Structure 1
Amino acid sequence: MADKKLLLIDGNSVAFRAFYALYRQLESFKNPEGLHTNAIYAFKNMLDVLLKDVKPTHVLVAFDAGKVTFRNKMYDDYKGGRQKTPEELLEQLPYIQEMLHDLGIKTYELKNYEADDIIGTFVNLGETADFKVTVVTGDRDLTQLTSNKTTVMVTKHGVSDLEAYTPEHMKKINGVTPTEFIDMKALMGDNSD
């Protein structure tokens, strides 16, 4: 395969962005059974654009397997400052995964790990196998994964406005390399985490 392209999507993060992209129309996006569908609709629209623009040969959408991870065992209050996920979004997550499966797109989740951990692992595996990797997320922490083989696309507004992070863009925006970004975040801390 001459031009191998791996698209990795942070499923929870993108679903969250999709949900709030159409939040004002929340009550308009319901099926006859009362299921909210705004996140499903916006997620699918974003996916269509990504597949067209990136033209990946391989796609994986990673999801969090639950709220408890190995980090909670290290620090009880890990993500203690996070707001609870709205029920209207939680009810849509299984349908987003079902939609992805129906489209032939693989999803992956692993107990005690976050989608970020899965994506980091697959970035490493993809680069080792000479893939050009594109990561899509709403989490700027994943920009530490940028390299000459990996671009991290971060949602800015809604799900259609994305900012492409490369090592050069990281240096321009943050004044640090992707590796230095890890140290910078460790020194700064993160209220949400």
Structure 2
Amino acid sequence: MMKKKLLLIDGNSVAFRAFFALHNSLERFKNANGLHTNAIYAFHNMFDNVMKKEEPTHVLVAFDAGKTTFRTEMYQEYKGGRSKTPSEFREQLPYIRELIHHLGVKTYELANYEADDIIGTLATKANKEEYEVVIVSGDRDLLQLVSDDITVDITVKGVSEIEVYNPEKVAERYDGLTPAQVVDLKGLAGDTSDNIPGVTKVGEKTAIKLLKEYETVEGVYEH
């Protein structure tokens, strides 16, 4: 039986990459009403490229529902210190959603959760016998989902440059770690983009070394 292919796109992340891909041309991309259109234009190009490359049978674009999630309830400083979202980007988001709907694709968001959570849930719930899953995002946190059935395409820069992550690529990027160990790596080393502190004086190299020896955070504490 031919496997179906589910394409899951991290809407906020890809739209943000699209905005900065043409950030230098911000004033050139403006319509008669003064609306900036660089993110809309670049998102359309990126979306088009991915659709042609992957040829999915099923597609969903997930969005963040807002700034507060169950994570901010647990840790108030989560994502703190990020610079304010540019208004030129914010004004384009409703039109990016509209563009997606006009292309015949569904979007989804859920109060108290991030796009990552929706993507993670759907990717792991997709029946492995029936679906091959491809995730597109700029967020390396999603590499924890990589498996033989789940590929994560990380947008690197511009509109077309993408790094494709399968289990071998994750091992290559993190010196032999498995996708499941990415969570422990983030916990130990922290994550500046999400303002997660990690363990004092433990950076990525030390975290990788510890996880290669003790496998998990729990394993590190036990020893």
Task: With the length of structure 1 as denominator, give the TM-score of the two structures.
Answer: 0.97
CA distance in structure 2 between the aligned counterparts of 1:62 and 1:3, rounded to whole angstroms: 22
Report the Cα distance in structure 2 between the residues aligned to 1:23 and 1:46, rounded to whole angstroms: 15
What residue number does 2:221 align with? none
Query: How much has 1:20 moved relative to structure 2?
Result: 0.3
1:160-175 equivalence runs, <5 A? 160-175=160-175
Q: Which amino acid in 1 is paired with 2:190?
A: G
Gaps of 5+ in 2: 195-223
* Percent pairwise identity: 61
- Is the CA contact (8 Å cut-off) linking 1:127 and 1:133 kept in structure 2? no
Q: Which amino acid aligns with 2:6?
A: L
Question: CA 1:119 to 1:129, structure 2 compared with 1: closer, same or farther past 3 Å?
Answer: farther
Report the equivalent of 2:134.
134
Answer 1 or 2: higher relative contact order, Cα 8 Å, separation at least 6: 1
Give the distance between the partners of 1:22 and 1:42, measured in 2 at CA. Answer: 7
Code of the aligned partner of 2:76: D
**Match status 1:72 vs 2:72:** yes
Matched, 1:45 2:45: yes
Paired with 1:75 and 1:129, the residues of 2 have a C-alpha distance of: 38
Q: In the alignment, is the contact (CA less than 8 A) between 1:127 and 1:149 conserved in 2? A: no
Contact 1:14/1:138 (<8 A) preserved: yes
- C-alpha distance in 2, partners of 1:19/1:169? 27
Q: CA RMSD in A?
A: 1.1
* Runs of 4+ displaced beyond 4 Å: none
Report the equivalent of 1:146. Answer: 146
3-state secondary structure, aligned to 2:187: helix
How far apart are 1:81 and its partner, in Å? 2.0
Deviation, structure 1 residue 127: 4.1
Report which stretch shifted further, 129-138 or 52-61.
129-138
Matches within 5 A, 1:91-130: 91-128=91-128, 130=130
For 1:166 and 1:51, locate their aligned partners in 2 and report how far apart those are by CA, in whole Å: 19
Distance in structure 2 (CA, Å) of the matches to 1:122 and 1:33 = 38
Matching of residue 180 in structure 1 with residue 186 in structure 2: no
Name the CA distance, whole Å, in 1 between partners of 2:50 and 2:191. 29
> Could you tell me which residue of structure 1 aligns to residue 217 of structure 2?
none
Which structure's CA Rg is the greater one?
2
Kindly state the Cα deviation for residue 2 of structure 1 after the two structures are TM-superposed: 2.4
User: Could you list the per-position Cα deviations for residues 53-81 of structure 1 after superposition, in whole angstroms to 9, with x for gaps in the alignment?
Assistant: 10000000000000010111101111002
* Deviations 1:16-45, CA, capped at 9 Å, x for gaps: 000000000000001100100000000000
Aligned to 1:51, the other structure's residue is in SS state helix
Query: Is the counterpart of residue 63 in structure 1 residue 67 in structure 2?
Result: no
SS in 2 for 1:117: helix
SS at match of 2:193: coil
> Aligned-pair distance for 1:128?
4.3
Distance in 1 (CA, whole Å) between partners of 2:39 and 2:166 is: 28
> How many residue pairs align between the two structures?
193
Give the TM-score of the pair, scaled to structure 2: 0.84
Contact persistence 2:3–2:129 (CA under 8 A): no
Deviation (angstroms), 1:118: 0.5
**Matches of 2:61 and 2:110, distance apart in 1:** 12
**Contact persistence 2:134–2:150 (CA under 8 A):** yes
